[in-house]
Amino acid sequence: MLQRRNSKQRSVIRDYLWGRIDHPTAEKLYNEIRVEHPKMSLGTVYRNLMLLTDLGEIQAIDVGDGITHFDPNPAPHAHFYCTKCHQVHDIHIADYDRVKEMFASHDEGIIERCNVNMIGICKDCKSE
């Protein structure tokens, strides 16, 4: 594997994503980071998010809205995409691995990942 250096930018990007549950896009992170770090470039944000994803440190979420969202939690879990507020929410269920098993038994391929996305109106938007 390639050699890595701990750049300041990478650590800033990691810090800005760490602990969040709102699944920001690369551009959203960039705009937030830019306030404190005006020299940070969008390309660097993309490059590092992709790198951290490849390293398995974070995960990239594709819910079908055409924009990649990022999740600091690399553990497999489902997501909910609200078509009204365009936010991505986590859905944690105890036996997520069961889903993979349900489909693995019906397909002879090698399943590496299992992505589950619910699309609809989230509970916050519903009650408005």
Partner DNA sequence: GTTTTTGCAAAGTATTTGCAAATGG
Partner DNA sequence: CCATTTGCAAATACTTTGCAAAAAC
Which parts of this chain interact with a second copy (CB under 8 A)? 60, 62, 64, 78, 80, 82-83, 89, 91-93, 98-100, 102-104, 106-123, 125-126
Question: Interface with DNA includes 39 (CB under 7 A)?
Answer: yes
Range list of β-strands (E), 3-105: 59-61, 69-71, 78-82, 88-91
Return the closest-CA partner of residue 61 out of 100, 22, 97, 33: 22
* Coil, strand or helix at 70: strand
Rounded CA separation 23/73 (Å): 10
Question: Under a CB-based contact definition with an 8 Å cutoff, are residues 121 and 81 in contact?
Answer: no
Tokens (6 digits) for 12:
């800033």
Taking CB under 7 A as the binding criterion, the range among 40-48, 92-100, 105-113, 115-123 that sits at the site for DNA is: 40-48
**Least distance CB 37 / DNA (angstroms):** 7
47-76 positions binding DNA, by CB under 7 A: 47-48, 50, 66-68
Strands 88-91 and 69-71: unpaired
Smallest distance from the beta carbon of 115 to DNA, in angstroms?
15
44 binds DNA, rule: CB under 7 A: yes
Residues that bind DNA (CB under 7 A): 2-10, 25-27, 37, 39-44, 46-48, 50, 66-68
